[in-house]
Structure 1
Amino acid sequence: MAFAQLIFRDGGSSNKPPCFVGEHYDLWKICMQPYLEPQGDDIWDAVKNGPYVPKIVIDNKEEKKIKVSWTNDDKRKVLFDKKAKNMLQSALGMDEYFHVSHCKTAKNIWDTLELTH
């Protein structure tokens, strides 16, 4: 138990994610996935596959919808990435946060952490 306390200074409960401070990334990743998954399949999908982008088909060509034309369902689905991004950012120490502060999506944060550790 003392070893785990050194790695994850706080967090690791159902309402607070394990905190990654730059060491033992592989262990943090293993702990973070089970934290994210119960938040909802759509949250985990946003981390693994990227954000939902509302689209419309015009002349047999798929295009991004403009925000004013989003349906309530589009708005709900777009929020999954924002929630996932917030959860990931909340799980990072200050140095790690600054490494990914430029990231626009949860998937981008996850992939950047993977590449840098």
Structure 2
Amino acid sequence: EQNEDIKSMFTRFTNIINALQSLDKTYTNSELVRKTLWCLPRSWMPKVTAIEEAKNLSLLPLEDLLGSLMTHELSMQKREDDEEKENKKKKGGSPKIIRK
């Protein structure tokens, strides 16, 4: 889902995996990590590439991946908030003086 946060995406992902397990379909941790990365939106591709290059995906625990993605999401949100505040300052400019 496009504007879904990481925690919601992971909850949905876990529900799907649990449903598949009840049908006797199981995945290794490595497969779950790769599927999680594959599900991320296009805007996350630089982060996905960085994780793929820096980490051994066969050894990366799913929980560590989730922590890394949530940290990155918070960082992106803070950057967006800071940019929004900066833009408001620029648009607002200095207060106008009204003379009588």
Q: Under a length normalisation based on structure 2, what TM-score does the superposition of the two structures give?
A: 0.43
* Bigger radius of gyration among the two: 2
Q: Under a length normalisation based on structure 1, what TM-score does the superposition of the two structures give?
A: 0.38
Give the structure, 1 or 2, with the largest relative contact order (CA under 8 Å, sep 6 or more): 2
Higher normalized strand content (fraction of residues): 1
Higher normalized helix content (fraction of residues): 2
